[in-house]
């Protein structure tokens, strides 16, 4: 039975969280934090369901931004070869294969500072073709103008991803070529165009717990919570400024997921980058703490994922199933054999 606090957290999302309240959630004993997160999760979602997403890099490398975690920045020598924007037909074929392998959502990422108008027609064909397959569509293409956001919406784009990365006061340590306000401005254009927002961050970049609280506080106090909230664990890339960051403790990562679930009770919390380096037990704890989406396929943009066999076995062992699948008489995870 939910306490009045947990019932309120689940029923009426708050946008007036204080930073001290968020830090206090992080400081709770882990069993108490997990209990509250699980209660909130159950009030908004089926805790046995996980949305299966796949992310394709449709334009890799050569980005003029200097994001300190990113292998695709032209500022750093990471050995990654830059490529041009993929043809729409190739992307649509990849999306069809992803759907056949169980994906319910298909995300397209391009390594750009901002979207150029010249690329809009090909992107529109790409998005409309993926949407026609019956997949939920998401894209991350850098900063947008209001008109560009409207054109992406008209093409059939459901979600636009634009992460805040870290706390406002920690942002300049991670990125110097754009500002936090630049990020927020693009999110405003996405909202104004009628698209849903996919926005989260990265942990394990050498930030403090207070910075992790600051990131989640920034997300929880947006006028509308992100409908999609990815939490990435840094995959250190040699040659990047953050490539030597010490790994984040696994239980601290679980705390971050749990706090995100409590703060944004109706968001789909996505267990994103870094999962390949997590144990089965750590992934299970994250799913118990309120994460309800994973990325499947061979890689997430340029970083590896566990692979279909491991994902199928993990979710089957947990008794979990793809979002929307029947709870009885169906495979726990609808991935191809």
pLDDT of residue 60: 82
pLDDT of residue 1: 36
**Would you list the domain boundaries of the chain?**
16-320
**Any idea what DSSP says for residue 244?**
T
Q: 188, 159 in Cβ contact below 8 A?
A: no
What is the rounded CA–CA span in Å between residue 30 and residue 284? 15
pLDDT of residue 169: 96
What is the rounded CA–CA span in Å between residue 233 and residue 12? 29
Strand partners, 299: 304
Contacts (Cβ under 8 Å, ≥6 apart) of 99: 106, 133, 134, 135
The pTM of this model reads: 0.88
What is the rounded CA–CA span in Å between residue 321 and residue 319? 7
Query: Token digits for 115?
Result: 């979207």
Segments of 39-158 assigned E as strands: 49-59, 105-110, 136-140
Distance of CA 221 to the CA centre of its chain: 18
Query: Token digits for 152?
Result: 């992406």
Catalytic residues: 63, 67, 70, 107, 138, 198, 270
pLDDT of residue 273: 85
The architecture that CATH gives domain 16-320 is Alpha-Beta Barrel (3.20)
Q: 232, 260 in Cβ contact below 8 A?
A: no
pLDDT of residue 298: 60
pLDDT of residue 295: 87
Calculated CA dihedral for residues 19, 22, 24, 25, nearest 10 degrees: 180
Per-residue pLDDT of the chain (337 residues; tens, 9 = 90+): 344 445 555 558 899 999 999 999 999 999 999 999 999 999 999 999 999 999 999 988 777 787 778 777 767 776 777 788 999 999 999 999 999 888 999 999 988 888 899 999 999 999 999 999 999 999 999 999 999 999 999 999 999 999 999 999 999 999 999 899 999 999 999 999 999 999 999 999 999 999 999 999 999 999 999 999 999 999 888 888 888 899 999 999 999 999 999 999 999 999 988 888 899 999 999 999 999 999 887 655 555 565 777 888 888 999 999 887 656 544 444 454 3
């Amino acid at each position: 039975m939910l306490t009045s606090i947990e019932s309120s957290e689940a029923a009426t999302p708050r946008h007036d969280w204080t930073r001290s309240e968020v830090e206090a959630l992080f400081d709770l004993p882990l069993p108490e934090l997990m209990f509250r997160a699980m209660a909130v999760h159950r009030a908004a979602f089926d805790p046995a369901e996980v949305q299966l997403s796949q992310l394709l890099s449709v334009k890799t490398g050569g980005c003029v931004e200097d994001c300190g975690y990113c292998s695709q920045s032209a500022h750093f020598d990471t050995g990654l070869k830059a490529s041009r924007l993929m043809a729409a037909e190739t992307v649509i074929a990849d999306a069809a294969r992803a759907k056949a392998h169980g994906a319910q959502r298909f995300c397209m990422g391009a390594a750009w500072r901002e979207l150029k108008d010249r690329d809009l027609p090909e992107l529109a064909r790409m998005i409309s073709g993926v949407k026609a397959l019956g997949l939920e569509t998401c894209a991350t293409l850098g900063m947008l103008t209001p008109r560009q956001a409207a054109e992406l919406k008209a093409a059939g784009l459901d979600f636009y991803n634009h992460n805040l990365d870290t706390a406002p006061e920690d942002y300049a340590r991670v990125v110097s070529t754009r500002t936090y306000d630049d990020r927020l401005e693009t999110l405003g254009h996405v909202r104004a165009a009628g698209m849903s927002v996919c926005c989260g961050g990265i942990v394990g970049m050498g930030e403090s717990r207070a910075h992790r609280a600051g990131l989640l506080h920034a997300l929880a106090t947006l006028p509308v919570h992100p409908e999609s909230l990815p939490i990435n664990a840094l995959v250190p890339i040699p040659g990047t400024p953050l490539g030597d960051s010490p790994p984040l403790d696994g239980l601290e990562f679980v705390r971050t997921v749990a706090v995100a679930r409590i703060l944004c009770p109706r968001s789909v919390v996505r267990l994103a980058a870094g999962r390949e380096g997590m144990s089965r037990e750590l992934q299970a704890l994250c799913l118990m703490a309120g994460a309800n989406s994973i990325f499947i396929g061979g890689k997430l943009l340029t970083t590896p994922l566990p692979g279909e066999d491991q994902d199928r076995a993990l979710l089957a062992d947990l008794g979990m199933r793809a979002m929307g699948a029947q709870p009885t008489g169906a495979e726990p995870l609808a991935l191809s054999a």
